[in-house]
Structure 1
Amino acid sequence: MKFRYTLILIICCILATSCADQQNNDFKITGNQVGKLSKESLARDIELIFEKDSVVQDTVKLNFGNGASKIKIYEKGGALLLTLTPNNDSIATIQNVLVNDERFETDKGISKMSTFKEIRENYSIKKIITSLNNVVVLLKDNDLYFTIDKKELPESLRYNANNNIEEVQIPDNAKVKYMMIGWD
């Protein structure tokens, strides 16, 4: 009798662990993967990849044969998970992924809720591009990049789009506005 309870307990633990691993992988970002989506995933297969979620595409563009300009992935509960942009190849794959949900994180624990300090401490920065309202932080040897609103910067750097902003000028506590992955 005691053996039976022990056996049932072990089986339950194994099942719980495998379910937890699957849940963690659904929100894991690696070099070639964002949750269930891989770098090789075809745009036409998005409905199958996210079969348990809601996929919303621009139907006007689909009807004219141009492909969807943006594909939004919503969790069944209504939370926006990802915004995907397919490329225009004859066999379209996903070119850009905008991470909308804070549960997605890299193996180094970086998410949409991370600060610039956390990014800098975990990744080498390749380049910082300045635009009118934002700065884009590109990483070395990584398809992941971050956008930081200029409102997070010191006031002297906010109003000139021609300023070349350097890594040391971005405050440690600057929050990420957008977390994106750009696949070729």
Structure 2
Amino acid sequence: MKKSIFLILVLCILLSNCNKAQDPFEISKQHIGLLTDSTQVKDIESIFASDSISKFISGDEFAGSINNIEIFKKGGEKMLVLTPENVLDSTSVIESIQVLDPQYKTAKGISTLSTFKDISAAYKISKINNQINSVAISVKEINASFVIDKKELPPNLQFDLNLEFQEAHIPDDAKIKYFFLLWNN
């Protein structure tokens, strides 16, 4: 009798886990919604069937290096920018994804609405890169790079390109402008 109850309990747990649908806005190290690090360019239209897709297509060899695929909500708001690993190749996998839409969140709740304090509380910061107009915060745990506009920083830190940023330099309330997931690097 005890074995039967235990077996039924295990079976119920297994069946309930099988029915768990993939969150279309969840971000992890190897996927963002239904898009994975092994998804090919040719499959993007079926994944984002209810959204608008804008591809740069060119026969001009001078423009062949630009190959971003932009994903828009039906209302016209840009959600994602996908960069394939190989130019003009439908079998190429995605190399990086720029996340612009706040609906997309990591398992720890980080989105484009988050602040530097949220990132540093949720993840170990691997590196901080000083760029011309922004600061990029790298998190290896999820292969992400969070971009904060330098306008969010104190004025004395905005223009020094030689400054090696530390976590203490960035205000807790500095907002994320967007972030990248970097795959296949």
Shared fold (TM-score, shorter chain, > 0.5): yes
User: CA 1:44/1:67 → structure 2, altered by over 3 Å: closer, same or farther?
Assistant: farther
Structure 2 distance, partners of 1:132, 1:82, is: 23
Q: Secondary structure at the match of 2:157?
A: helix
- How many aligned residue pairs are there? 164
Q: Structure 1 residue runs of 4+, over 4 Å off?
A: 61-68
Question: 1:57–1:68: 8 Å Cα contact kept in structure 2?
Answer: no
Query: Which has the larger share of helix?
Result: 1
Q: Which runs of 5+ in 2 are unaligned?
A: 1-18
CA RMSD, Structure 1 to Structure 2 (Å)? 2.4
Correspondence for 1:129: 129
Per-residue deviation, 1:136: 0.5
Kindly indicate whether structure 1 or structure 2 has the higher relative contact order, using CA contacts under 8 Å at least 6 residues apart. Answer: 2
User: CA 1:135/1:125 → structure 2, altered by over 3 Å: closer, same or farther?
Assistant: same
Corresponding letter in the other structure for 1:131 = Q
Question: 2:123–2:141: 8 Å Cα contact kept in structure 1?
Answer: no
- Is 1:114 matched with 2:117? no
TM-score normalized by structure 1?
A: 0.81
Structure 1 distance, partners of 2:165, 2:59, is: 38
Correspondence for 2:23: 25
Q: Secondary structure at the match of 1:125?
A: coil
TM-score normalized by structure 2?
A: 0.80
Map 1:93-172 onto structure 2 (within 5 A).
93-172=93-172
Q: Secondary structure at the match of 1:120?
A: helix
Corresponding letter in the other structure for 2:159 = Y
Structure 2 distance, partners of 1:67, 1:92, is: 14
Per-residue deviation, 1:77: 2.8
Question: 1:61–1:69: 8 Å Cα contact kept in structure 2?
Answer: no
Corresponding letter in the other structure for 1:55 = I
Q: Which runs of 5+ in 1 are unaligned?
A: 1-17
Per-residue deviation, 1:59: 2.3
Q: Secondary structure at the match of 2:141?
A: coil
User: CA 1:174/1:61 → structure 2, altered by over 3 Å: closer, same or farther?
Assistant: farther
Question: 1:61–1:68: 8 Å Cα contact kept in structure 2?
Answer: no
Structure 1 vs Structure 2: percent identity of aligned residues?
37
Question: 1:143–1:181: 8 Å Cα contact kept in structure 2?
Answer: yes
Corresponding letter in the other structure for 1:161 = L
Structure 1 distance, partners of 2:63, 2:111, is: 35
